[in-house]
Amino acid sequence: MTSTPPDAAASVPAGEAGGPATPHVALDHPGIVELFALLAYGEVAAFYRLTEEARMAPNLNGRINMASMAAAEMNHYEVLRDALDQRGVDVVPAMTKYASALENYHRLTTPSTWLEALVKTYVGDAMAADFYLQIADVMPDEVAEVVRSVLSETGHSQFVVAEVRAAVTASDRQRHRLALWSRRLLGEAITQAQFVMADHDELVDLVMSGGGLSQMTDFFDRLQNTHNRRMQELGLA
């Protein structure tokens, strides 16, 4: 449990291909509470945005799929709230400081059509999954478990693929439009992630303990790579 020394292997980058890297981060690293708080607000913000964007759904099926995804976000939130609770931290005050970055991301990426809403859902879900997986690799087991159990609930957004592919196969204009839109989503997410890092030293230190600066660059590179893979799945590449 506590056998992982804090900065033990700061120069060793996290393993990308060869299986999960050895955890580098101490269980009591103050960044862990901040990370959980950030993710918790992310889940609540996603819940309300998904539900609002579901108004654009052309039919009941679409509204129900969005509602199911939103419900899954609240289940993730509850996992994170309990993990914070076990560390003696009250989730609501802890997560409030991350509100502006997440609300800004959503405000700057408000979809104007149902297809944009679908792509945002898919891209957002995929980015969250990448993010969770990458941080789980460098965390102590107990923390990785929380992160992976949150991750295991994602995958609700598969319903998006068929609908988006059909639309972009039928219309080149739609494909170009949605390809630009998805690039904008990634850009805004990275911008807001960098703002969060700039404001919260514990989080920067957490990423540093997990492998240093190369880890941070790798992190954004990998986000970009998996984003490209998602664009191919949606027929937007």
Cα(161)–Cα(156) distance, rounded to whole angstroms?
A: 11
Task: Closer to its own copies by CB, 98 or 105: give it.
Answer: 98
Q: Assign 20 to helix, strand or coil.
A: coil
Using CB under 8 A, which residues numbered 132 to 191 contact its own copies? none
Are residues 12 and 218 in contact, defined by beta-carbon separation less than 8 angstroms? no
Confirm or reject binding of residue 102 to its own copies (CB under 8 A). Answer: no
Confirm or reject binding of residue 68 to its own copies (CB under 8 A). Answer: yes
Question: Among 11-19, 29-37, 72-80, 185-193, which window interacts with its own copies (CB under 8 A)?
Answer: 72-80
Task: Closer to its own copies by CB, 124 or 211: give it.
Answer: 124
Question: Among 16-24, 73-81, 145-153, 211-219, which window interacts with its own copies (CB under 8 A)?
Answer: 73-81
Characterize 197-209 residue by residue with b for buried, 16 or more Cβ atoms within 10 angstroms of its Cβ, and e for exposed: eeebeebebbbbb
Question: Among 46-54, 101-109, 132-140, 185-193, which window interacts with its own copies (CB under 8 A)?
Answer: 46-54
Residue 31 class from Cβ within 10 Å (0-12 exposed, 13-18 middle, 19+ buried)? buried
Question: Among 16-24, 74-82, 129-137, 227-235, which window interacts with its own copies (CB under 8 A)?
Answer: 74-82
Confirm or reject binding of residue 67 to its own copies (CB under 8 A). Answer: yes
What's the distance, Cα to Cα, between the start and end of the chain in Å? Answer: 44
Q: Which of 63, 97, 184, 222 binds its own copies (CB under 8 A)?
A: 63
State the nearest-atom distance from the C-beta of 94 to its own copies, in Å: 11
Q: Which H or E run contains 114?
A: helix 114-138
Confirm or reject binding of residue 47 to its own copies (CB under 8 A). Answer: yes
Task: Closer to its own copies by CB, 56 or 204: give it.
Answer: 56
| Short-list 122, 94, 91, CA closest to 231 | 122
Q: Which of 9, 70, 129, 138 binds its own copies (CB under 8 A)?
A: 70
State the nearest-atom distance from the C-beta of 68 to its own copies, in Å: 6
The phi, psi pair for 207, rounded to 5°, reads -65, -40
* Residue 30 φ/ψ region, left for φ over 0, alpha for ψ in the -120 to 50 degree band, beta for the rest: alpha
Q: Assign 48 to helix, strand or coil.
A: helix
Cα(79)–Cα(227) distance, rounded to whole angstroms?
A: 26
For its own copies, how many residues bind (rule: CB under 8 A)?
22
Cα(144)–Cα(134) distance, rounded to whole angstroms?
A: 10
Residues that bind its own copies (CB under 8 A): 44, 47-48, 51, 54, 60-61, 63-64, 67-68, 70-75, 77-78, 92, 96, 99
